[in-house]
């Protein structure tokens, strides 16, 4: 059978992913299945079935809330139609000139400054970090200082400070009861952050 429409291709892809997970003996809890399958669908990497960690309450989005990303790439990957169905919006501060100037003045990264700016404007937002471990580390610090995001998605990719930032963010979110989805290890990326956001948006919107 030839699958030609996007919806047909997606449904068949999800079916094949489910079949392969079963063949590998991996049972994903139903409450987490949409996120895990969509990340695998985005990456073709079955490791995410085992390295994604979920804290209590981490699979729900706040209706009418904001999603803050650490890259414009992640921002562009979030489905705008799904956002509007929930009365939500998304933004990224990383490319703003003021953020670059402040980062230079403070001797820090734009990722840190962008998280501080987002925390001031949208303290109850969903924070989706797919690239910068310094953004995730700063979020952990702000949570220790009293910030309470609706959800932290921590999936930066790379080799420097990456695994440490994820482990710390997970520990801090668990300690303070902040919902979080974290991909332990080196793997991740802006595409993964967007995929997790979309999975949650589709579930919340009844897709």
Q: Look-up: residue for tokens 């962008």?
A: 114
Tell me which of 14, 41, 123, 202 is the catalytic residue. 41
Q: Look-up: residue for tokens 């910030």?
A: 147
Rounded Cα–Cα distance for residues 174 and 92 (Å): 25
- What does R_g of the chain's alpha carbons equal in angstroms? 17
Told to judge if 41 belongs to the known catalytic residues of this protein, a careful annotator would answer: yes
Cα–Cα distances in Å, from 36 out to 110, 112, 166?
30, 28, 17
| 3-state SS, residue 54 | strand
- CB count within 10 Å of CB 16 equals 12
Q: Which of 203, 76, 174, 193 is nearest to 132 (CA)?
A: 193
How are beta strands 89-92 and 66-69 bridged, if at all? parallel
Residues with a known catalytic role: 41
């Amino acid at each position: 059978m030839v699958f030609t429409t996007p919806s047909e291709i997606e449904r068949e892809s999800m079916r094949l992913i489910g079949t392969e997970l079963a063949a590998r003996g991996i049972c994903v809890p139903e409450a987490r299945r949409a996120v895990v399958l969509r990340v695998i669908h985005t990456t073709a990497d079955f490791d995410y079935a085992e390295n994604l960690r979920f804290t209590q309450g981490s699979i729900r989005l706040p209706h009418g809330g904001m999603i803050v990303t650490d890259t414009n790439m992640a921002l562009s990957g979030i489905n705008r139609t799904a956002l509007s169905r929930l009365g939500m919006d998304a933004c990224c501060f990383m490319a703003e000139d003021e953020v670059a100037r402040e980062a230079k003045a403070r001797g820090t990264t734009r990722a840190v400054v962008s998280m501080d700016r987002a925390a001031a404007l949208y303290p109850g937002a969903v924070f989706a970090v797919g690239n910068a471990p310094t953004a995730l580390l700063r979020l952990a610090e702000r949570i220790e200082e009293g910030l309470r995001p609706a959800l932290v998605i921590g999936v930066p990719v790379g080799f420097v400070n990456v695994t440490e930032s994820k482990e710390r963010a997970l520990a801090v979110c668990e300690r303070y009861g902040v919902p979080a989805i974290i991909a332990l290890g080196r793997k991740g990326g802006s595409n993964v952050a967007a995929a997790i956001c979309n999975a949650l948006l589709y579930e919340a919107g009844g897709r």
